[in-house]
Amino acid sequence: MTHTTVAITGASAGIGRAAARAFAARGHRVGLIARDTERLQAACREVEAAGGRGLAAPADVSDAEALDRAAELIERELGPIDVWVNAAMATVFAPFHAVAPHEYRRATEVTYLGFVHGTQSALKRMRPRGRGSATPYRRAGRQAGQTLTLWRPGSANPAAGAYPIATAGTGRAAHPRSRPDEPATRNAPATDRICRAKARSSGSRPKSGNCR
């Protein structure tokens, strides 16, 4: 699929940079967001070499206003953002007691708040249009890369492969599933599973299918 605009945070290295190349190889337009302008430019050249169109949009994801300005730049130069990938991450490899408070703060601001700011910026633009996908790469394991999708039913989703956890216009979220055929209760919140287990042990039934 061509003519799709993708915004990627953490695009100067790691998963973000690899994702930028992968989208570019399919002919997508890619807005690359990160702090390091030199590495951003290098990633931009890789996008162009892979067959896409790249745009460097320098920003610190911990700064919500700066990130929103980067999104504005991407939409102005490349068109409305169809897919938003949150790949920015900061980690500290050291024993717990050896990590300074400011290092914990920075890791939290980038990894957690960066995801929050990015998703908010994406939804701000996608909800009025009723379409789009925001994908967080924030956890290892089976649930990594699940997608918050606002794509209209029947239209092609460039981020296909991850399963939707919300639908445009409803504001309601469903439990994510690891496979399409997997029961929704498999990945239900722990509180729901505990509640159902207690109900079974006592011989009673949860009220109206939701025991919270």
Domains located in the chain, CATH noted:
5-174 (3.40.50.720), 175-212 (no CATH)
Give me the chain's average pLDDT, please.
76
CA angle 118, 119, 122 (to 5 degrees): 90
Helix (H), strand (E) counts: the chain:
6, 6
How far is it, in rounded angstroms, from Cα 107 to Cα 76? 30
Helix, strand, or coil here: 86?
strand
The tally of CA atoms less than 13 A away on the side-chain side of residue 131 is 15
How far is it, in rounded angstroms, from Cα 81 to Cα 152? 15
Answer whether residue 150 shows pLDDT above 60: no
Answer whether residue 14 shows pLDDT above 90: yes
Question: Which pLDDT value is given to residue 200?
Answer: 57
- Please compute the mean of the pLDDT values over residues 15-32 and round it to a whole number: 95
Answer whether residue 2 shows pLDDT above 80: no
96-141 pLDDT, tens digit each: 999 999 999 999 999 999 999 999 999 999 999 999 999 865 443 3
